Structure 1
């Protein structure tokens, strides 16, 4: 299969309004993708300069992490102006140019809307905190202290400590689920909802193809401000916050994931449905009920198009038993949900390091991702097989890592600059010293070296994505008969035209698998898949894909 034929395929398939259904999305962290002006920080023009590379992967869409105006306390996830580009990334004209160029190459553009909170430097917050009587006084979550002066309840911040910050102007506490400089908006206020929908309309009118919605289940809080109950030790899950964070000690029943969220999501979906071919991808941050919430938020055709939870972003490896457990839970709690799977992103350790994968296992996991039911998110550099970078404490930028160092080193290790050219200064990312150091180990896997090797991880990912798009059963078909046979995970994907049997040895023990009866033909051998038969013997990291046509 010619991996460079993906572009023409992309242009054809993206004409469909449901391009997102089984689509492959490429996440870009703009600070670290490509610097075009020599200031050491990636920007929008840098992304435009690399669009041919992105299109050559065969992906359907690009998700760009926030580039709005921001004081950058949380690197763009603290927005001070939703309708403009921060000068470090360029201008609104630069974004329009990027949008036009991406569309011309058959690529969709999704932007990262951070609606649950703003920066404390947003004009809305400046007005809200000025008094208890101003027109925006209830746009944020304000509460009086208890009689002893302590916060109104026991809610905790994901970044550590209380989720409440005292404000001397109003003599009240305000809620912040993240940094103290990220006050939470009050979604119980109708004017807040209307203002945020106007923000979404602004970007839809500009031509964006959809939104990745940050912390989508954090929008509403419990109006009564009831205390969260304690979470038993055996139920604590560090997928949302590191184990050293007391956030894991609570069951967050009242600080997030409230039922009032659903009507707002339906308003947001109704807005996007006014525009053809747009999609909403929600991030569900809940360690205990992620799949259940995914099911609620994607149920029917009036809510989100797709959501992703954190099941495959955890430190826990993708064993056959765990993967089956996740899909069993998905079927039980959210049978109609449309998931979007990610193994890596800008918030977690890169999965090749997190799961300690060797080259063969990394290649196998790439194929597995393309065979699972749902859409898929790839994070920049994942296609190169990059492992987590080591960033010394004195070079850290992430406030999360600085707070919990060294037990938790934060998110900088997955955010280091993209490596483009082995021999170039800063590996081709910039001509200046970058905001985070370029990893020498990652530089050995730079794009120019990978392009020259037909068997590189980069070309492997291209082939895996092309395989997914070549078979509708893989991209959008049903999944059934998922089973574990020791370390081997097997399942069927099918649509009206074809059925594909998938078998992946996710462990170390050699295992023999019996293939369902029928006339099967092996596919995926260009990806390293083994030849199939009535029985298959799979060693560690091996897989087999077999197809039979219907009718």
Structure 2
């Protein structure tokens, strides 16, 4: 019996097939962010009105599934005042009629699950619409609602117009100015705090009734079978408390920013990332974990949005003492914050290693995102020639990937006229300020084909389509070899391979000024491992791969290429000596285990001989 155990142990070690702990669905998922009002208009209310809806998303599920996405993230779809793209919520438990009904959402959820995918909702706990019933009750000091928001009559600061304000706290969105606002009809109520817009008052998250209500919102949608939430603007959730005299502390001036109208003119130590924030996140994580246990199902997740420093983001994952779990996926905005059009290989490698080594706690999951509804599109920010290589990077790195709708075809920002913007805070700026501040340009209608408005709607869209939709659209790229769409499809399907779901080794290194590479390797020598090479620069570079990755075989086999690469699938590349990478080229290749198998067989035969010599009985 001992001999049998010895033999089995030897075979397991030899093969590398160690048991692997099962991963939760979100740990390696590919997310697809949809901005519903610009995805597809099906005329949910009887006729098309240039506004996307939930049935439009359901109609395109085959497309989303076919690309290889595993989870859909919807930006806000709740009843809204339409002053800030749906982030000004009037009713958290009702789908806005322009998107459809609660039943339409339930139908979409069921259809998504029928395809084996997941779907999460945007959750906005920091603020609501000024039309929300809770704010109206708070204005009128209705019992139990008077302190659902931040109110004060104490002033200790004068703005640029010499108007008294409670403090120097600034507004983020729209024209520069104070975050403190007043209701002219209710002077006795003093000032209320609204960091993003006077139409979006901030909740008082220190009020237990508020957090209980928000928890009830999550449960409402969880009971409708939603798979989780992306938590919007959570770093702004709490503010510093006033002193005993009711005075709120002013924020210090940032010496590095002289423009007083810039939000970064102040150092926001009193209005961002307050200590109570993390306790709230931990309590919501526990709520979701308890819900999962109660329902005996898969994980319901929270993804948190924060552009805070890395040392702060680390707290979103886990409490300092390790006792309290935080967000499943705190958003990783390193590519957005640190990568520019003139970045080099060292910038990329440092960005990746810093995040993995210093932010993500052991056993936790990372994520990668290069664009979203608040940022310039990838093709606009970096150039169309870099779309494939950046999509390759986002999808091939370990962890979760997030793709903003349209990035799979290389859509660019819309070039709408000033008068056509529907961003309420931006329209209050002058023409030039709108160009700088409006997010509307990044939220243009999805380009499905070259018909009217890119196939989004036959009616005039709420936001003009990109002026390049006639050539940059899904239909023009579908089935076309080397198109952005087909390369993205190949990348997402490759992500489902074992090396990307369970890789045992990841290593990333620079190769030259603008070229870098990384491996996704399995200990199991019978499985394929992968090698990704990227040249982000606008000129060819000579690289010596074996000097940086000496354990790689001399020959690798091409799986997927992007950019201007001329290599074909299954073509072998000899990397035993220097070779040239073209400008904007990306290569995903695998190295076969054939030599490892030969070595394994030789070792196995050697073991058999030893066993015979020592007279083991098989």
- Specify the alignment match of 1:11 in structure 2: none
- Specify the alignment match of 1:394 in structure 2: 419
What SS is found at the alignment partner of 1:178?
Answer: coil
- Specify the alignment match of 1:130 in structure 2: 140
Q: Would you say 1:501 and 2:531 are equivalent positions?
A: yes
Q: 1:370, CA displacement in angstroms?
A: 1.2
Number of positions where the alignment pairs a residue of Structure 1 with one of Structure 2 = 522
- Specify the alignment match of 1:533 in structure 2: 575
1:480-539 per-position Cα deviation (integer Å, ceiling 9, x unaligned): 344463211233334543654333111234131322223535354333465251244323
Q: 2:486 aligns with which of 453, 459, 472?
A: 459
Pair 1:409–1:177, CA change in 2 (3 A): closer
Q: Would you say 1:191 and 2:197 are equivalent positions?
A: no
Residue 324 of structure 1 contacts residue 484 of structure 1 at CA under 8 Å; is this kept in 2?
no
Map 1:255-294 → 2, pairs under 5 A = 255-273=271-289, 274-275=291-292, 276-286=298-308, 289=309, 291-294=310-313
- Specify the alignment match of 1:25 in structure 2: 31
C-alpha distance in 1, partners of 2:390/2:118? 25
Which stretch shows the higher mean deviation, 348-357 or 57-66? 348-357
> Cα RMSD (Å) of the superposition?
2.4
Residue 344 of structure 2 contacts residue 537 of structure 2 at CA under 8 Å; is this kept in 1?
yes
- Specify the alignment match of 2:169 in structure 1: 155
Q: Would you say 1:94 and 2:137 are equivalent positions?
A: no
1:138-189 per-position Cα deviation (integer Å, ceiling 9, x unaligned): 1111122315762221111111311111234243211111011000001111
Q: Which consecutive unaligned segments of at least 5 residues does structure 2 have?
A: 1-21, 158-162, 243-247, 293-297, 568-572, 601-618
- Specify the alignment match of 1:5 in structure 2: none
Pair 1:52–1:296, CA change in 2 (3 A): same
Q: 1:201, CA displacement in angstroms?
A: 0.8
What SS is found at the alignment partner of 2:334?
Answer: coil
What SS is found at the alignment partner of 1:27?
Answer: strand
TM-score (norm 2): 0.79
Residue 352 of structure 1 contacts residue 385 of structure 1 at CA under 8 Å; is this kept in 2?
yes
Which stretch shows the higher mean deviation, 247-256 or 108-117? 247-256
C-alpha distance in 1, partners of 2:328/2:164? 41
Residue 478 of structure 1 contacts residue 495 of structure 1 at CA under 8 Å; is this kept in 2?
yes
Residue 140 of structure 1 contacts residue 185 of structure 1 at CA under 8 Å; is this kept in 2?
yes
- Specify the alignment match of 1:324 in structure 2: 349
- Specify the alignment match of 1:35 in structure 2: 41
- Specify the alignment match of 1:355 in structure 2: 382
What SS is found at the alignment partner of 1:260?
Answer: helix
Q: 1:324, CA displacement in angstroms?
A: 2.4
What SS is found at the alignment partner of 2:125?
Answer: coil
Q: 1:479, CA displacement in angstroms?
A: 3.3
Q: 1:178 aligns with which of 196, 205, 209?
A: 196
C-alpha distance in 2, partners of 1:387/1:517? 40
Q: 1:327, CA displacement in angstroms?
A: 2.5
What SS is found at the alignment partner of 2:127?
Answer: coil
Q: 1:440, CA displacement in angstroms?
A: 3.1
Q: Would you say 1:227 and 2:247 are equivalent positions?
A: no
Q: 2:545 aligns with which of 514, 517, 520?
A: 514
C-alpha distance in 2, partners of 1:252/1:380? 32
Pair 1:115–1:211, CA change in 2 (3 A): same
C-alpha distance in 2, partners of 1:226/1:478? 48
Q: 1:333, CA displacement in angstroms?
A: 3.6
C-alpha distance in 2, partners of 1:230/1:480? 41
Pair 1:134–1:267, CA change in 2 (3 A): same
Q: Would you say 1:338 and 2:365 are equivalent positions?
A: yes
Q: 1:121, CA displacement in angstroms?
A: 0.8
Residue 151 of structure 2 contacts residue 189 of structure 2 at CA under 8 Å; is this kept in 1?
no
Q: Would you say 1:164 and 2:190 are equivalent positions?
A: no
C-alpha distance in 1, partners of 2:111/2:93? 21
C-alpha distance in 1, partners of 2:23/2:212? 26
Pair 1:222–1:312, CA change in 2 (3 A): same
C-alpha distance in 2, partners of 1:217/1:429? 34
C-alpha distance in 2, partners of 1:417/1:280? 27
1:319-341 per-position Cα deviation (integer Å, ceiling 9, x unaligned): 32222232343245414263322
Q: Would you say 1:48 and 2:58 are equivalent positions?
A: yes
- Specify the alignment match of 2:331 in structure 1: 308
C-alpha distance in 1, partners of 2:260/2:25? 40
Q: 1:379, CA displacement in angstroms?
A: 0.9
- Specify the alignment match of 1:373 in structure 2: 398
Residue 372 of structure 1 contacts residue 474 of structure 1 at CA under 8 Å; is this kept in 2?
no
Residue 294 of structure 1 contacts residue 307 of structure 1 at CA under 8 Å; is this kept in 2?
yes
Pair 1:180–1:523, CA change in 2 (3 A): farther
C-alpha distance in 2, partners of 1:147/1:546? 63
TM-score (norm 1): 0.89
Q: 1:130, CA displacement in angstroms?
A: 0.7
C-alpha distance in 1, partners of 2:189/2:110? 48
C-alpha distance in 2, partners of 1:145/1:443? 57
Map 1:412-431 → 2, pairs under 5 A = 412-422=440-450, 424-431=451-458
Residue 41 of structure 1 contacts residue 88 of structure 1 at CA under 8 Å; is this kept in 2?
yes
Q: Would you say 1:247 and 2:247 are equivalent positions?
A: no
Residue 561 of structure 2 contacts residue 586 of structure 2 at CA under 8 Å; is this kept in 1?
no
Residue 464 of structure 1 contacts residue 527 of structure 1 at CA under 8 Å; is this kept in 2?
no
C-alpha distance in 1, partners of 2:480/2:273? 47
- Specify the alignment match of 1:410 in structure 2: 438
C-alpha distance in 2, partners of 1:264/1:478? 35
